[in-house]
Structure 1
Amino acid sequence: MADLKGGITRNGAAYHGRMLNILGQRYFPKSSCETSFSFETNSEPGQFVPVHVHPHQDEFILVQEGELHLKLDGVWSVAKAGDLVRMPKGVPHGYFNKSDKPARALFWVSPAGRLEALFETLHDMTDIPAIVEASAAHDVDFLPPEAND
């Protein structure tokens, strides 16, 4: 993976021009280099990413619009526009739009690891067992469904 290239990724755009459909949500990759990978998510009411673990990456969420319910290390909380969520590597976490309004957030991980490659693999996938298997092969481990309760 290359060093970070300078420049601007415009609002509503992806740095390589491709929007990704991940579990029905629109993801816009914003930057990618060896040390970090960032992406914008657009989550409609009811959309979520189940509780999972990144064993080798710290992850952050800057909520830009709306709010997200988060389960971080077994504890529920709500992050609103302007809030920064810090999720250390190895700590189970998931996010859920439990509101009646869309949410938009900027996520990033450090180091980049294989998360961008995972998103390319998951684009338009709908088979949940295949998604879980592909995720594990890219260093993202989903917990059993009861972890989302």
Structure 2
Amino acid sequence: MDRKRFIKNSGIGLGIALLPGVLLSQPNLFSTPHVSLNDPKVVKDDDGDVLNVIGDIQTHKLLGKDTNNQIVEWVDNVAPGVGIPPHIHTKEDEMFRVVKGEVEITVNSKTTILKAGDIAFAPKGIAHAWKVVGTEKAKMITSAFPAGIEFMFQELAQLPAGPPNFEKVAEICGRQGVTFV
């Protein structure tokens, strides 16, 4: 048998011998792709858990437990002057969509005023901040992916009323991989 023919025949035989093991070792090869482990969910405007996260009134609409930890989404309903100082996430990206009012957002040192219908994206590892500007309350839908940050917000909402203890806030945020700059 010549060399070329040997390699060709050996390769086919080896492929046939290994194919069942390769196919069976692929966990989702024969399942429907992108199947969620969660049930569908409809969330009405008035639905959700309301948290006061140091003055940021958040209504949590979808949590990680609802989305197979893919995304968490909440609605911010905040007064003028309220905002979040510059910070960096190491675990999740965030998207901000203004529904009502005006929000000044800074992402990667670029500041923009978002109005109803405008969206900003803040990838993890990039400093960002936001603040409600103008004279009316703002309503903003914020999404973070993957999920997990909702636990940080739940803990922050348990802090006592009044001016926040920045060291305690930084400690809670730091456990989620969020640092202030």
Deviations 1:59-103 (A, max 9, x none): 101110011001111111111100111111111001001211110
Which is helix-richer, 1 or 2?
2
Higher RCO structure (Cα 8 Å, ≥6 apart): 1
User: Computing the radius of gyration over CA atoms, which structure comes out larger, 1 or 2?
Assistant: 2
| Paired residues for 1:8-47 under 5 Å | 8-14=42-48, 18-33=49-64, 34-47=69-82
| Paired residues for 1:125-144 under 5 Å | 125=159, 126-143=164-181
Q: Distance in 2 between matches of 1:72 and 1:87?
A: 6
Q: Distance in 1 between matches of 2:144 and 2:74?
A: 9
Correspondent of 2:138 among 103, 107, 119: 103
- State the identity %: 23
Which is strand-richer, 1 or 2?
1
Q: Distance in 1 between matches of 2:37 and 2:110?
A: 36
Deviations 1:5-45 (A, max 9, x none): 3121111321xxx2100111210111022111111001101
Residue 71 of structure 1 corresponds to: 106
* Alpha-carbon contact 1:4-1:32 (below 8 Å) kept: no
Gaps of 5+ in 1: 144-149
Q: TM-score, normalised by structure 2?
A: 0.72
